[in-house]
Structure formats: C-alpha cells, structure tokens
Structure 1
Amino acid sequence: MYDQKFLSLIKDYEKDFSGWDFSYITDTGRIGSELLTWSYGSIVNHHIPKANSLLDMGTGGGELLSKLHPLPELTFATEGYKPNVTIAKSRLEPLGIKVFEIEKDDRLPFKTSQFDLIINKHESYSPKEVRRVLAKGGIFITQQVGGLNSSHINEQLEAPLNSEFVDWNLRFALDEIKKEGFEILDKKEEYPVERFYDLGALIYYLKAIPWQVPDFEMDHYIKQLYIIHQTIERDGYFDVKQHRFLITAKAI
C-alpha cells in the first residue's frame, strides 16, 4: 500500500533528539524557515553589555546562552525539561553559569529583584514571578511560539490544536505583562513559513515538539502522513505557517 521511500522516511521517528538541537534536519537542509524581521539574538546582545546579572529562562541544552558573550559574571539559567537539564549543566557550568531545574514557572529559586536582564526564548513564564525577580528598570526579553504555530500540520493530520495554547498570542501576553508593572518597549508578531522537504523531517520535528500533536503516534496517523508524503513528492515540499511574537519590556 505504501511505497518504499515512505516506509524508509518514517523510520526517522526512531532517531534520538536531545537538548534543543534540530541539526539532524536543519544542517542537512531537510527543513527551512522564512526569516523573521527581527533577531532575538541581536536584541539580547544589545542589552547584555548593560546588565550586571542575567537569567536565561528555559535554556534548553544551553545552546544559545553558551554562544552569547561576554556574559555578566552573575549569569544563571533555568530548565524545566528534565532530559535537557544534564545537557545544559555539562555545557554551561564549565562557563561559570549555574543551571537550576525548575518545575513551576511561578516558583523561581531566586531572590526578589535579583536580575537586571531576563531573557526567554520559547519558554513558558509567570509574568508576576518574572517581575518579582527582575529589579526596577530591568529588562525582560521574550520570543514566544504562538498558539496557531504550524496549525496546518494539525489540519492535515485531522488532529485538534493543543487547547492549552490555542489562545496564546501577542495581545494576550501583553495584557498579562502590563498588569504586573511593565512598560512595553517593543512588540512584534509574525507568521513565517516553515518548509519540510521530506516526510522524515516532519516526523522528527513532531517527535521533538510533542505539544504540537500531543497524542502523536505513527500508527494512528499513518494514512494522513502518507497523504502529506504524496504532497511532498508532487510539489517538492510541504509548507506550514509558524507563529512567533516578541516582547521587550521594562520593569517599572
């Protein structure tokens, strides 16, 4: 029923994924993304020289933080996904960055007003707790994945969107942050295209981010996956729209 190429590609579901490293499919050009009009890394780099203390929330495996330098002497990181904690510690602690494993966003293991810069890329957060640990005048920079991210994948698989995140967007996030005593310095929201060049790349992606399709199992979606495979064979790619938004805010 299914061709050999399809059967070979679905084996990518068995490939290991660790930290926050998509190089298996990005470095080989099997997936590509349209560029945003902003660079999270450049924005963060602009603020780092002004900071005496820095917190990176949701550092993943520490991939990005380890490349930002020179960092403040007082730099810390948190990570809530247990498999990433060991990876982050091995990468960051030799650099003098202590990594804290956390379970709840509203209970950070830091003193009130401890930081003057908090960065957060694609990590959940409690606006109230961020404000608590951020000093007055301190800066909070976050890039978030919106609730409509890659919704076309769900449509094609006939899988519902994750109800926990579906209403997560720039307007909602701004309302929350403003209520906790922040001045908004910058805000943006965009829907760049993400392109998959083979089905194996898509399957690897879904395994890496299980919240996109929380009940994703190969056998359950095999027919829908084959239809996507046929689309890629016909058109050369399968496109979906990402959902990203950026907020830079100052504690007042």
Structure 2
Amino acid sequence: MVIIREGGQLLNNHYMDKLTFEQYMELAKESFSGWDFGWLERTGRMAVGNLSWNYYNEVLPYVRASKSMLDMGTGGGEFLRLLQPLPRITYATEGYLPNIEVAKAALSPYGVEVIPVDEDEHLPLASEQFDLIINRHESYAASEVWRLLRPGGIFITQQCGGQNDIELNGWLGAPPPEHFQWSLSTAEDQLAKQSFEILRTKAEATHTRFFDIGALVYYLNIIQWQIEDFSEARYQKPLEALHERLGKDGYLDTTCDRFLIAARKPMG
C-alpha cells in the first residue's frame, strides 16, 4: 500500500508494481528477426551469465590469418559483421527461413554470399574450399565440416550443450529436447572419429536469468527446439504458476550450458 496526496488530502491507494500475466503475454508477441536477443537484454529482462572465454576473441586471430571462411548458421549476420574486415572469400549458411533475407541484406555490402541450407549433411558448397569454418550455436555434421575444409583448415565452434535451459522443460512438464545428451565429450568424439586434431576445448555452465514471464515466453517462441510443441495456450497453467513464482522470487534461473572446440584438419 502506498500513501498519495491529491488535492491537499492524503489518500490510501493500492499500488500495482507488476504487470498482469495477460499484459506480459502481449509483450511476448514482439517481433523477432535475425538471431539477436538484444531486445530482451537491453531492457534487462533476460541476462546471460559470463563465460571464462570470449568467442569473438577465440576466432578473430584465425579470421585475420585466413583467405577463405564459412560462417555456419549466421542468423541475421550479426556476429559475422563484427569480425570485419572479412577474408576475401567469405560465405555464410542459414537454415531458418525468416533469417535468410535478413542475413542477405546485412551481409551483401561486405561481399558475403548467404547460402540457404536444409540439412547439415549436404551443404551446397565445394569441397576443400575454406581455410576456416566458424560455428556459433549451430548444428553441424562433422563429415561435412571435414569435406569443406582444406588440409590444415580450422574449425571453431561454440555450442549450447544438451542441459541448456533444461529447467524450462521440467517446469512446464514438457519432455526433454531431442538434443539433451549433446555435450563436449560427444562432440569431441565425433570430430576425433572424423580424424580431426583437437586443438582446444572448454566447457562451462552458468545461468540465464529471466525477470518476467513475457521474456520467458518470447524466448521459448524463438528456441523452438527446446519444447517443440510450445504455445502459450498449451502450457498456460504452468506458465501462470511460473508468473506467480516470479512475482514472489523476482527471477528464474536456467542452466546456460556452453562448450567450445577448436579443431584442425591435418595436412596430407
């Protein structure tokens, strides 16, 4: 309760310091393009814990030393643009249809051709074409990475592990995602079986923090692989329960599961 003054008189009034569930659901309908969660992060409604490495700094020395490069799963081209000047020959792939035109518009001024892809195992690119392949949070087939790299070429990927955001599935009563066993050891084994030389690995779990149910629903609408049948209507009751929990606790934390691998295709 808060005391307010009106017309010289002190009045009691109930103060609403939280939006309703329905109001937050309206915020969750904000449009999304590319692959940028900045709208949530700039407002502070979602915050991701810091890792002990920085992917930009991991890849930049290799970008500068390469003559040809592929960015797998470029999203809207947001990260790739940060790495300019890019190698003279730079391609990007993208499999999410709404992002393709966004990426083309963003990257064409830099001479980057964006290649639409349907499956990881068959990318429409020539063999042994690249000195460097980077991959940030995109699925891949180790055999295709091997095919596309020149001998001596480098593959650097930062991946979301299978335990990423796993709490969301539990809270909503949804089955675990298809990729819930994906991990550094699994990825490392796949690359080693393909005869890659593993140069560097790192794995870490921090947290992603959500401060309102609208931010959480907006996020789930984007990461459709986490809960494949997700919709507000289908999961309304557990979402309302989480809204109540947020009202009491102020935030919800999920696991932010990340790992990094740098690998080389041997010469000869």
The answer for the alignment partner of 2:182 in structure 1 is 168
Aligned partners of 1:219, 1:112: CA distance in 2, in Å?
46
Query: What secondary structure sits across from 1:212 in the alignment?
Result: coil
The answer for the alignment partner of 2:9 in structure 1 is none
Deviating runs (4+, > 2 A) in structure 1?
A: none
Query: Does 2:127 align with 1:135?
Result: no
1:49 to 64, 86, 89: 64
Query: Does 2:78 align with 1:63?
Result: yes
Report Cα offsets for 1:59-90 as digits up to 9, x if no partner. Answer: 00101101112111111101011110000000
Report Cα offsets for 1:39-65 as digits up to 9, x if no partner. Answer: 111111121111110100000010110
Matched-pair contact (CA < 8 Å) for 1:12–1:203: no
**How far apart are residue 120 of structure 1 and its match?**
0.3
What code does the residue aligned with 1:121 have? R
**How far apart are residue 12 of structure 1 and its match?**
2.6
Query: What secondary structure sits across from 2:260 in the alignment?
Result: strand
The answer for the alignment partner of 2:43 in structure 1 is 28
Query: What secondary structure sits across from 1:201 in the alignment?
Result: helix
Query: Does 2:99 align with 1:84?
Result: yes
1:207 to 201, 217, 221: 221
Matched-pair contact (CA < 8 Å) for 1:140–1:249: yes
1:11 to 21, 26, 35: 26
Aligned partners of 2:256, 2:174: CA distance in 1, in Å?
17
> What's the TM-score, normalizing by structure 2?
0.90
2:134 to 113, 119, 128: 119
Query: Does 2:262 align with 1:248?
Result: yes
What code does the residue aligned with 1:250 have? R
Aligned partners of 1:95, 1:4: CA distance in 2, in Å?
43
CA RMSD of aligned residues (A): 1.2
Aligned partners of 1:60, 1:51: CA distance in 2, in Å?
22
**How far apart are residue 13 of structure 1 and its match?**
3.1
Say how many residue pairs are matched.
Answer: 249
The answer for the alignment partner of 2:231 in structure 1 is 217
The answer for the alignment partner of 2:203 in structure 1 is 189
Aligned partners of 2:157, 2:249: CA distance in 1, in Å?
36
What code does the residue aligned with 1:198 have? D
Aligned partners of 1:140, 1:224: CA distance in 2, in Å?
41
**How far apart are residue 180 of structure 1 and its match?**
0.8
Query: What secondary structure sits across from 1:116 in the alignment?
Result: strand
The answer for the alignment partner of 1:178 in structure 2 is 192
**How far apart are residue 114 of structure 1 and its match?**
0.7
Query: What secondary structure sits across from 2:60 in the alignment?
Result: helix
> What's the TM-score, normalizing by structure 1?
0.96
Aligned partners of 1:216, 1:110: CA distance in 2, in Å?
34
Matched-pair contact (CA < 8 Å) for 2:221–2:231: no
Query: Does 2:121 align with 1:106?
Result: yes
What code does the residue aligned with 1:220 have? R
Matched-pair contact (CA < 8 Å) for 2:49–2:256: no
**How far apart are residue 4 of structure 1 and its match?**
5.8
Query: What secondary structure sits across from 1:29 in the alignment?
Result: coil
What code does the residue aligned with 1:244 have? R
Matched-pair contact (CA < 8 Å) for 1:55–1:77: yes
Aligned partners of 2:62, 2:84: CA distance in 1, in Å?
11
**How far apart are residue 226 of structure 1 and its match?**
1.4
Query: What secondary structure sits across from 1:48 in the alignment?
Result: helix
In structure 1, list runs of 5 or more residues that go unmatched: none
